[in-house]
Each structure stands twice: as C-alpha cells, then as structure tokens.
Amino acid sequence: MTKVLLGQRAGFSVKTLGDYESGRATPTEDGIGSIAPVLRFPVSFFYRPELEEPPSESVSFRSLSRMTAAQRDAALAAGALAFELSQWIQKHFELTVPNVPDLSAYQPTEAALVLRNHWRIGVRPIGNIVHLMESQGVRVFSLAERSHQVDAYSLWYHGAPFVFLNTTKTVEHSRMDAAHELGHLVLHQHGAVRSRDVENDAKAFGAAFLMPAESIRSIVPRLTGPSFSNMVQLKKNWGVSVAALAMRLNKMGLLPDHSYRGICIELSKYGRTREPHAIVEREKSAVLGKVFGMLRESGTTKADVAKQLDLYTEDLDALIFGLGQMMASEGSSGQVRPSADAEQRRRQFRVYS
Amino acid sequence: MSMVQRRNEALVVAEPLSVQRRLQALGLTMEIVLNALEAGIGAAALHSTVNYPRNYGGTTFWAEVTRWLREYLVPLGWHRDETGGQPSVVRGDNGMAIVVVRGNEQTGDPRFLPTTEYKRGPVTIERVSRNVRLPFDDEPVETEAVEVDTSDGVPTWLLLHHRRGEELRSELSFPIAISKSGFVEEWGETIILPTIVLDPRNMPMLDDEPVNPDVDVRRRA
C-alpha cells in the first residue's frame, strides 16, 4: 500500500504520515486507532518493539525477476512475523538442530547427491519434502502474502535455515520450490551475489535433488516418443510436475528434443497454474502441526498465540499452512479475528491478496 | 492378398555399417531418418487418446515424419516439394525425393518383400513408373549447373514404416513396380533401418520406499 492510499483511508495527510514514519511526530492513540484497521494489524501491534526484518540481500527469492519491490518487501515483512513466531515456538518447544551443511564448494547436481548422502536417504524418492527438511532442522512456513509472483524464498536467520512456500501453487510446483530453496540454503549460505547463475544453480539442484539421475536411470530407458499419459505415470515416481520431469529427462538425453517440445506444447494447453493429474494433498509443516496440536491439548488456542504476538489469527494462519484448526468454540473468543467490515476493507486495500 | 515373397538379397542393405554408408552416399544419415521417425512416434503418441478420431494418430505420424525430415534436411540444401499434392523432401541436386508411406507387415524385414499398406494413387503410380525409366544412378551429383526441375525426373524413394506390436519397423526403398490393384510390390533397392522399440504403455514404477521422516517436536519442560 502506498502512503497516499493509507493517508486517504486513515484520514491523514501524506506529510503527517511521513512525519510518523521518520519519527518527527508520534501518532496519538486515536491516530493509531484509525491506521491499524487500514493496515489490518491489531492496535497492540503498533506498541511492540520493532520487528527484525531480514535484509533483502540475504534472501533468495524465486520468481525474483517478475517481482516488484513492493511485493518483495511484503514477503519479507511476512518473514519477519515468522521469525517472531519461530522464536516464540523455540521458547516453548525443542526443535531439531539444523543439519544443513555448506555445500558451496560443489556443483549443484553434485551438491544434491552429497546432501542426500549427508541425510542418509540415498537416491530414494522423496515422499514429503517439507517433513524431510524439517527433520533436518529447516524451519518451513507458508507465505503469508498470497502473491502469485512470489513462489518461495529462503534465508539463514540467526543460524537457522528458513524456507517460505507459496501455498497457492500446485503441490508439484511447491515441492520443486522447496527443493530449489534447499539448493540456495546449501549452495549460497554466505549470501552469494544474486544473479542469473545463482538461480540456475538452485534450479539444477532442485531437479537433481527431487529426481536423482541414478533413480531415473534405474527405471527409464531412452524414450522414443512417450505419450502424455506415459509422462503422467512417470512423474508419480518423484512427485514432480510433467514439465519438470520432461526437462530433466531431456537434459539427461533420455527424451528426444522433438518429444520434449511436443510435451511442452501439450502442457501449454493446461496453462501455467494447472498440473495434469495433480497431487491433491498439500505438504504442510509437521512441526507447526505438532506444536499447535500440543498447544491445543494444553488449552492454548491459536488466538492466544496470535494475541501474544500481536497478530490477527488470520495472519498467523497464513504462516502455518492453515494448520492447528481452531475448535468451534474458539471462533468468537479471539479478539483478534477481524470483523466482516475489516474483511471488506482488506479486499479493498490489500494489494497482494 | 498374394503370398509373402522372399526378397532378392542382392538388393537389400541391412548390415548396420553398410546402412550408414549407403545413407551417407545418398546425402542422409541414420540419425536424421531415425529422429524424424521418433518425432512422428512422439507426436502420434500425444494425439492418440480414444477421443481423437481413430486415424488421427496415423495422419499425425505421417505429417510429423515428413515435417521433421524437412526440418533436418532443408538446412542441408534439400527442399520441400508438394507436386501433385504429394508432400516430399527433395535433395538439392534433384537426385532423390523421399515420400513417407505406410508399408505392410513385411516392412523392415530383410527376408521378405513388403508392399505398401494401402493402394496408391495416381501420383505414386506416376512417380514409380518414372523411377523405372530413369537411369539407376542416384548418388549426389557435384555440379554447379543444377537442373531446377522439381517434379520431372526426380527419383522417388519411399520411407516405408510399419508398426508391429511394440516396435516400429522401417526401410528406405526405391519402388519400381506397382501391382494391377495399385500396391507397390517391387523394389530396386532397400535400405533396412534399425527397429525402433516403442515406449511401453505402462511406465515403470520405482520400488524404493519414499522418504517420509517423522519430525521430532518436544515441549520444553
């Protein structure tokens, strides 16, 4: 949201907002009262210490080229909320210590194999990649900003690897995003210069991690002219999209160029956002599921957690894959649930939802 | 149909190295021909679900093989030709035209004589009869002055193909006689191409157990 729009909605001049922003002036309680609903944060949020937002240079974004600066900032701000939540969780729960080695010395495809060996999973297909990453100490959250332009991003924060996944993509797409971000985490731990190469490295890593060459070669001969249903059958072995599999097979010399092109043309009929015979069940965080499950058992509601963090439950939900379903009785008890009115405003003002 | 006849082995090139050499002498490579056939298989496979008209796969195959022969050969100095409505690709010196045609079960078998699968029309009949009148000298001519005459006097070869079970058999053959009923049944020369094994209908699945680790979370005391 721009300052002009916020000013219009909250009834302030742009100059006044600028003064608030720079610290030249401090908003009154009433002032915050009118700004808070426009920005869709509880009033208490504005009285808390400043959030630590990750510096954008240290973050690896997917789809970076198509993102606007505002979209990137929104995603990063959502990240800041996740760190708060993560710290809160760490205070109350014991989580796996991160076991994500620095593999920057390797080529991406080698690194994928090295990491698989390090994690002792050989070349087995990966069932749930979110759980796999979490079992090795990666903190995985869903992207609160539902921008279709941001697929995923990752970063190291106080020694812990974080991955954010967009939950509006197909499951196959999201799995590849996760593997891609894992690539950034092992290959670019020292904040490599963001460039085309870095993205290509992560892309190569992701493909090799989800579809190890040895695994493919063990069952796929050189194909002559596979049908679409052939490809759909094959992709189920690795839980990837037809597009990702076709590209991998083509690069490995197992799928002739003309067949690859033909499959790409067929795929284009599905559009960018649909996957033929897609996996239905989304991969969600096991850690967050367990945490909110245990909290609920001990009588702590999601709304309670949101309140402690000065968040709307809705924003909390957005970070935790909608996990930790509230009990029916909880619905009205959380003061942080936005009203229908707020929902209406949200639709009007939220640029990225 | 008539009885299956044995081929005259002297007119058949089947041994892989000789096939390579012979194709090269004609200005072709094994790779180009096989790639074009595979492209046809791939395209047909993408267009052969039950909801497509039944003959669409075959038409797609024919169209794509023709197309890919042109894609590969035009940059090497060949050109497209559609004389009489019959699509072909013609070598730069007009010493050879290739038409893609479906053959019968004997196609690609070095022992037995194939025929075309279907009765041929007037264009093929004309081309075959011209093949007979032409001196049987088909190697590329290295001269500056090329006769630009795309239709008359170009020796025509048929790229015969036949799908049998999970295989595609093919051969590049020079037709010289047509039966009274319209099937090409005699060949001046045959170059047997390697059999292409088609992709299985059911793709293999991995045996390995997928990785689905349990994630440990404990409440702090």
Backbone angles phi, psi at B80, to 5 degrees: -80, 150
Residues in chain B within 8 Å Cβ distance of A127: 210-212
Q: Which of A134, A228, A230 sits opposite B215 (nearest CB)?
A: A134
Return the C-alpha torsion angle A54, A57, A58, A63, nearest 10: 100
Q: Do B215 and A96 touch (CB under 8 A)?
A: yes
CA nearest neighbour of B155 among B172, B133, B171: B133
Q: Do B217 and A95 touch (CB under 8 A)?
A: yes
B43 inside 8 A of chain A by CB: yes
pLDDT in tens, chain A (353 residues): 777 788 888 888 888 888 887 778 888 888 888 888 787 777 777 776 666 666 665 566 655 455 566 666 766 777 788 888 999 999 999 999 999 999 999 999 999 999 999 999 999 999 999 999 999 999 999 986 555 667 888 888 888 999 999 888 899 999 999 999 999 999 988 765 555 588 899 999 999 999 999 999 999 989 999 999 999 999 999 999 999 999 999 999 999 999 999 999 999 988 878 899 999 999 999 999 999 999 999 999 989 998 888 888 888 888 888 886 654 444 444 444 444 443 443 333 222 22
Q: Do A92 and B220 touch (CB under 8 A)?
A: yes
The residue of chain B nearest to residue A265, with distances taken between CA atoms, is B46
For B55-66, the pLDDT digits (tens) are 899 999 999 999
Q: What letter would DSSP give residue A128?
A: -
The predicted pLDDT at position A239 comes to 97
Residue A250: C-alpha distances to residues A2, A274, B89 (Å): 45, 22, 28
CA nearest neighbour of A288 among A245, A247, A234, A324: A324
The residue of chain A nearest to residue B57, with distances taken between CA atoms, is A227
Q: Do B216 and A262 touch (CB under 8 A)?
A: no
Q: Do A256 and B39 touch (CB under 8 A)?
A: yes
Is pTM, for the whole model, over 0.90?
A: no
For B157-200, the pLDDT digits (tens) are 999 999 988 999 999 999 999 999 999 999 999 999 999 999 98
Q: Do B46 and A227 touch (CB under 8 A)?
A: yes
pLDDT in tens, chain B (221 residues): 457 899 998 999 999 999 999 999 999 999 999 999 999 999 999 888 889 998 899 999 999 999 999 999 999 999 999 998 999 999 999 999 999 999 999 999 999 999 999 999 999 998 998 898 765 555 555 544 433 344 567 999 999 999 988 999 999 999 999 999 999 999 999 999 999 999 988 999 999 999 999 999 999 97
The predicted pLDDT at position A66 comes to 52
Stated as kind and residue range, the H or E segment containing A25 is none
The predicted pLDDT at position A37 comes to 79
A143 close to A74: Cβ distance less than 8 angstroms:
no
Query: Which distant-in-sequence residues (6+ apart) come within 8 Å of A196 by Cβ?
Result: none
- What DSSP letter does each residue of A311-331 carry, written as one string? --HHHHHHHTTT-SPPPTTHH
Task: Give bridge partners of residue B6 from the DSSP assignment.
Answer: B112
CA nearest neighbour of A346 among A73, A40, A46: A40
CB atoms under 10 Å from CB of A123, counted, come to: 18
The two structure tokens encoding residue A95: 């989580």
Order the strands of the A152-157 sheet from edge to edge.
A60-61, A152-157, A160-165, A139-142
Q: Do B203 and A234 touch (CB under 8 A)?
A: yes
The predicted pLDDT at position A335 comes to 41
Alpha-carbon distance of A48 to A350, in angstroms, equals 23
The residue of chain A nearest to residue B168, with distances taken between CA atoms, is A224
CB atoms under 10 Å from CB of A178, counted, come to: 27
B51 inside 8 A of chain A by CB: no
The predicted pLDDT at position A329 comes to 45
Residues in chain B within 8 Å Cβ distance of A182: none
The residue of chain B nearest to residue A132, with distances taken between CA atoms, is B213
Alpha-carbon distance of A186 to A111, in angstroms, equals 8
Order the strands of the B79-81 sheet from edge to edge.
B12-13, B184-197, B167-178, B156-164, B97-102, B88-90, B79-81
